[in-house]
Every structure is written in structure tokens, then in C-alpha cells.
Amino acid sequence: LDAPKLFDLAGNVALVTGAGSGIGQRIAIGLAQCGADVGLLDRRTDDGLAKTADLIEKAGRRSIQIAADVTSGAALDEAVARTEAELGPLTLALNAAGIANAHPAEEMEETQFQTMMDVNLKGVFLSCQAEARAMLRNGRGSIVNIASMSGVIVNRGLNQCHYNASKAGVIHMSKSMAMEWVGRGIRVNTISPGYTATPMNTRPEMVHQTRLFEEQTPMQRMAGVDEMVGPAVFLLSDAASFVTGVDLLVDGGFCCW
Ligand code: NAD
């Protein structure tokens, strides 16, 4: 066994959703640094995807930029088709596209709840579905969905029952899909980050929250996006060939206390 080769992603093509910012952007670059070519999907129309693509080119790998919304199954099918046509057969997927907001449950409008579910839960379902259709054809694949520690615990003081429920849904849905595809060469796992320094946490209600988190975290700090790369590469690579249906908490120990 050549141990370092276990983490080598050369010869793989990945699709990353939410690749225009934060965790998805950093992991997309990390996958390229490990040898993969990457389809970059985001609904952002600013220069987020272009920045990711630029850094991937600097890493010596190829990428394509896809402006699409994960709430559309047709758009995701099209994104997978484009990625395969331009980069090659899809074997890896990292689904990070997501939104977050907060509102007291008793006052929450139905549309706010529904939008959260559409993006964070249905969006991951549709992404996995489109990706797995290609991977089943290709005979192998590894999918990682970005859930959250909020799918496991309730963030003290943060009124986001819809977000928490969407992330709990992502974790259990991913386990369920892992079992559906376990005999057909596809692994499905989730990463559940704790608070991570990204634009998502610059919302006004997060200032107090992130301070609270830092105080209450055994490691006494937030995560940097760099710290999500190792867990993602591990779960996507052959290093995790016997790992499926797992939720990997990357939370500085928060959920232990
Ligand atoms: P971010 O806002 O920096 O990045 C999210 C990206 O997803 C953005 O580029 C956004 O345009 C894209 N996106 C949102 N809705 C989309 C849609 N419908 N279609 C296509 N793209 C869409 O946030 P982030 O912190 O990097 O979050 C990435 C993932 O990590 C999310 O699923 C989030 O819930 C999860 N997460 C974040 C934290 C944290 O503390 N930052 C903690 C736990 C989990």
C-alpha cells in the first residue's frame, strides 16, 4: 500500500456546488490541488466562480464555471452533462451550496421555511440525484454533502429551526442514499462543520453567536475554511474506501461538551 497515494485525486472529475464562496470555494480549490478537474457551480453572478477557477488554473488543473441554482433538477442534470462533456466522467461531488437565516419559529412565514428546505435539503437531494445518475453509469463515485453541527445540536440562542431541520435532513438523507447505492460503487458521506469563518457568518445576528461559540468550543476558536479541505479530501478519496453513510463532525470539539 502506497499510503500518500490514497489521497491523490488525479484522474478524477468533481462537481462542487456553492463553489463561488466560503467552504465550497476552498474545497473546490483543494480538490484541484490534489489532482482533480472540477466543475464549479454557484448561483452567484459576481466574480466568485471566476476567482475559484483562477486559483484552480494556478494549481495546474482544469475547471468550468456553471451559473445554476440547486433548486432546479434540470439545471443540475445540465451541469453534470456539461462537466462530463468538457472535463470527463464524473467520479466526485461536493455539495456545499446552502443558505442560513434566523427567525423565531412562532413568527416564521411559511415561505421562509419553504425556501430554506428548497435550497438546503431539496437542493442537496437534486444535486446527489444528478451526480449519482452519472456515477452509476461510470461505475464508481464518492459524494460529500456539507451538513452542519446544527443538524446534530441546537445552536444555543439562535432561532433557526428551519435551518437546523434542513441540516438534520441532509445527514439522514445522505445515510439513506449511501445505503441505496452501497452495492453499486458509490459512497455518500456528510461533513458537519462548526462555525466557520465565511461570508455566511457576517450576518448581524452572528456577531454575538460566533463569540459565544468561540468561548464554548474546546478549541476556543472558529474554523478556517482551510480546515474543511482535509476532511473533504479524506472522505472523497480512496483513503475512505470503507467509509460510507458517516457524518464527520468538524467542530473543534463543540459537540463533546
Ligand atoms: P457562503 O455563503 O460563503 O457560501 C455558500 C454558497 O452557496 C454561495 O456562494 C451561494 O451563492 C451558494 N448558493 C446558495 N444558494 C444557492 C442555490 N440555490 N444554488 C446555487 N448556489 C447557491 O457560506 P458557507 O459558510 O461557505 O456555507 C457552505 C455550506 O456550509 C452551507 O451549506 C452551510 O449551511 C454550511 N455550513 C456553514 C457553516 C459556517 O459556519 N459557515 C457551518 C456549518 C455548515
Atom of ligand 1 nearest to the CA of 20: 9
Answer yes or no: is 7 within a domain.
yes
- At residue 177, does pLDDT exceed 90? yes
Q: Which domain holds residue 193?
A: 3-247
| Domain contains 256 | no
* Cα–Cα distance for residue pair 50/108, rounded to 1 Å: 36
Instruction: Over range 221-248, report the average pLDDT.
Output: 98
Structural domain total, the chain: 1
Query: In this predicted complex, what is the ipTM?
Result: 0.99
- For residue 4, the CA-to-ligand 1 centroid distance in Å is 30
Q: Determine the pLDDT at residue 208.
A: 86
Nearest CA to ligand 1 atom 11: 44
Tally: H helices and E strands in the chain: 8, 7
Please say if the pLDDT value at position 205 is more than 80.
no
pLDDT at residue 215 is higher than 80: yes
Average of per-residue pLDDT values in the chain: 97
- The catalytic residues are 163
Do 229 and 146 contact (CB within 8 A), yes or no? no
Mean pLDDT over residues 209-214, rounded?
88
Count the neighbouring beta carbons within 10 Å of the beta carbon of residue 107: 8
Say how far apart CA 115 and CA 113 lie, in whole Å. 6
In a domain, 252, yes or no: no
* 13 is a domain residue: yes
* Three cell numbers written together for 91: 467520479
- C-alpha cell read off for 252: 473543534
* Residue 118 per-residue DSSP state: I
Its sign, for the CA torsion 117, 123, 126, 128, is: negative
pLDDT for position 44: 87
**Does residue 255 fall inside a structural domain?**
no
- Pick the atom of ligand 1 nearest to 71's CA: 18
CA distance 147 to 95: 9
DSSP state of 105: G
Instruction: Tell me how many degrees the CA angle 77-142-90 measures, rounded to the nearest 5.
Output: 40
Task: List all residues whose CB is within 6 A of at least one atom of ligand 1.
Answer: 17-18, 20-24, 42-44, 48, 69-71, 96-100, 119, 123, 146, 148, 193, 195-196, 198-201
Kindly calculate the radius of gyration of the chain based on its CA atoms and give it in whole angstroms. Answer: 17
Task: Give pLDDT, residue 163.
Answer: 98
The structure's pTM equals 0.98
Give a yes or no: residue 232 inside a domain: yes
User: Looking at this protein, which amino acid is placed at residue 8?
Assistant: D
Kindly report, residue by residue over 73-99, the tens digit of the pLDDT: 999 999 999 999 999 999 999 999 999
Pocket test for ligand 1, best of 21, 128, 250 (most atoms within 8 A of CB): 21
Residue 254 lies in a domain: no
Residue 139, domain member (yes or no) = yes
CATH number at residue 87: 3.40.50.720
- Ligand 1 centroid to 3 CA: how many Å? 32
Mean pLDDT of 137-165: 97
